[in-house]
A and B are shown apart, each in its own frame.
Chain A
Amino acid sequence: MIRILVGGTVVSAFCLLGEVLKPKSFAGLISAAPSVALATIPLTAAAHGKTYVSLEARSMVLGALSFFAYAFAVSRILIRWKWPVLPVTSVSLLLWFASAFALCYALLGTVL
């Protein structure tokens, strides 16, 4: 429950920041802010210690690279073909999952 409250608050704060910033491409930077990480890391560190968080952060690098692939694909599709936003942003999440797990398997030797 506390994760939902903290996560919701941090994500909302970054969303508000993104709304007031112009131009839109600059505001878009905030969409990739480490909001989930900032909400999660202090709680995880308190529960499991710094070494555990460090291991999570190692995987987070791969998650961030997958996020790049996802955001780049979404931007190209929306700007070039102007397909509906919700299906594009939702279905493209499959790209994030595929990329993240493939990188995790290739570089860390684990998937599950």
Chain B
Amino acid sequence: MSLATKIKIDPSGLGQSHWYEYLIRFLFGGIVTALAGVIAKRYGPSIGGLFLAFPAILPATATLLARNQQEKKQGQDRNSAQKGGGVLRGREAAGVDAAGASMGTIGLAVFALIVWKGLPHLSLAVVLPLATLAYFVTALSIWSLRETLWRRLREQFRMLSRHSDANPHRS
């Protein structure tokens, strides 16, 4: 199965968010960006630079994602609200989102590395798009590598299970 068939764009996800969720993200992102500037001005570029990689989106998106998944699950199965299944599913979805983010941070480090090494020699108009492209390529490569390895491991485990079921006396 090719990578292209696995990644999908699903605009229906946009309809699940309320208007105030967009506002929260906008304010959260804006405040973190402004704070990064204030900290750099007060404490210098070494400390200010740390905040360019501050987890600005993850806490907001994980919380909203968990709530949306919970509402979706409870809408599908009214009993799940009593059992807490929707809540657990929402938390797990947020965990999967964070796992994806941890892979994305490698791309973020590559972005920073290119800006650090490239900017003294090249113009900002060249370095910034190049670094952004490098972020996407790195993050996508790590994600696809992890997906491929994970799929192979699962297939091997399934084959081993079938084998031991077919020959119960050999193991």
Contact = CB atoms under 8 A, between A and B. Distances in A.
Contacts, number: 338
Given A34-B111, A40-B36, A67 B53 contact: yes
Contact of B57 (A5, A30, A58): A30
Interface string B21-51: 0100111111111101100100101111111
Interface residues on B, range: 35 or more
A51 B10 CA distance: 41
Given A19-B13, A77-B95, A37 B34 contact: no
Q: Tell me what chain B mostly uses at the interface: helix, strand, loop, or mixed.
A: helix
Interface in A1-49: 3-12, 14-16, 18-45, 48
A53 B34 CA distance: 16
Contacts of B48: 56, 59
Contacts of A65: 105, 109
B9 interface: yes
Q: Which of B6, B90, B97, B99 has the most CB of A within 10 A?
A: B97
B28 A63 contact: no
B100 A25 contact: yes
Contacts of A78: 62, 91-92, 94-95, 98
Given A7-B29, A61-B109, A26 B143 contact: yes
Interface in B52-73: 52-63, 65-66
Contacts of A62: 49-50, 53
A79 B91 CA distance: 7
Interface string A51-76: 11111111111111111101110111
Given A84-B91, A85-B63, A11 B100 contact: no
A86 interface: yes
Contacts of B124: 41-42, 45, 50, 53
A24 B140 CA distance: 13
A8 B6 CA distance: 30
A43 B153 CA distance: 46
A98 to B, nearest CB: 12
Interface of B: 6-11, 13-14, 16-17, 22, 25-34, 36-37, 40, 43, 45-63, 65-66, 88, 90-109, 111-113, 115-117, 119-120, 124, 128, 131-132, 135, 139-140, 143, 147
8 contacts: A11-B56, A12-B29, A20-B11, A20-B13, A26-B7, A34-B135, A53-B124, A58-B112
